[in-house]
Structure 1
């Protein structure tokens, strides 16, 4: 059996199953049970994504969630001490997540869903606060939204037509 490039690329990423929910649909003949799995995937080097997989069995739902997460990956701008370059708020539906830059040695100060996203993105020093909804799926997507909106000092300097030193001052 020949493996294509996508399968080889998926093996590079670590994944973390944030939640598994049992969903029941009532039909004429009884109840249909299915599962949804929220999976976060990252390479611990500035790339992270999240996906939702739905299937009749848990392993299949996790596999589908992993595939969806790899397709939805974003790049994260990290600074020299493995933190984010500036503070940012990410929003998704009712959930907001505040990400704050932290100095070396702080570690990851974050709640469950936001923590798994930060760890798999390769961030080692960050402070987060989940605001609004505590729904795991919305918190994960709000965190990814905030990380995707981050800009490096080089990008900001280029946009403003200044040098990096002038932007950081």
Structure 2
């Protein structure tokens, strides 16, 4: 396949096939969980993949709907911008932002984008490792614009000490106890939500002693199921 003006022959075609391969492996049960997708850094380009694994456990919350305007020669064009957070209250959270002419269309598009932007959230303990994980494993910070949100581990029973917006995002990620600190213009709700989401995504960004074990390399799904993916695709599968 040659794309005129790009000088590229098969790179675009192979990328599209690779994205379809993830869906095929998920639907046929070759990929067992979202963690396998995250482990091998496979891109999630279809929201149905997330629905396959999380299903009814995934909840969505509209954080804010705001009108935005663009000046054109015919006058001002008003559209609606929706911020939506999705999560399963058990270690997965996603954020989607979408503009559309109608509110319902914006919300629907934001939910789809949030599912495709879902990330794993690492949880841990404040002190002794007793019972289920309940807080963030260490101090993490996320920023967006002038807003900076810092998450600090809290003892069991402390609850989530945060403003209404970050608290909802943390709850949907499965965090039970957490202290927070924020700086900047936090009344800009969009930036506050994005900063909280960035902080949660950063929980897997550092190594702690329990992760210092020697890594055992495994075959990626594309390598392991090469024979399956080589079969011709039947329409509807």
Where does 1:66-81 land on structure 2 (aligned, <5 Å)? 66-79=111-124, 80-81=132-133
Choose the corresponding residue for 1:148, options 173, 195, 201: 201
| Secondary structure at the counterpart of residue 61 of structure 2 | strand
Which residue is 1:14 aligned to? 59
**CA apart distance, 1:159:** 5.4
Distance 1:105 1:37 in 2: 33
Distance 2:93 2:183 in 1: 21
Bigger mean CA offset, 29-38 vs 50-59? 29-38
Contact 1:75 1:148 in 2 (8 A): yes
Question: Does the C-alpha gap of structure 1 residues 15 and 5 become closer, same or farther in structure 2, counting only changes over 3 Å?
Answer: closer
Alignment partner of 1:63 out of 108, 113, 125: 108
Instruction: Mark the runs of 5 or more structure 1 residues left unpaired by the alignment.
Output: 163-169
- Structure showing greater Rg: 2
Return 5+ residue gaps in structure 2 as ranges: 1-46, 125-131, 215-237
Counterpart of 2:165? 113
Count of residue correspondences? 158
CA distance in 1 between partners of 2:205 and 2:78 (Å):
45
Runs of 4+ displaced beyond 4 Å: 158-162
CA distance in 2, matches of 1:87, 1:7: 28
Mapping of 1:130-169 within 5 angstroms? 130-134=182-186, 135-151=188-204, 155-157=207-209, 160=212
TM-score, normalised on structure 2? 0.60
The SS at the match of 1:150 is: helix
- More RCO (CA 8 Å, sep 6+): 1
Contact 1:85–1:152, Cα closer than 8 Å, also in 2: no
135-144 or 22-31: which moved more? 22-31
Q: Could you tell me how far 1:161 is from its partner in structure 2?
A: 5.6
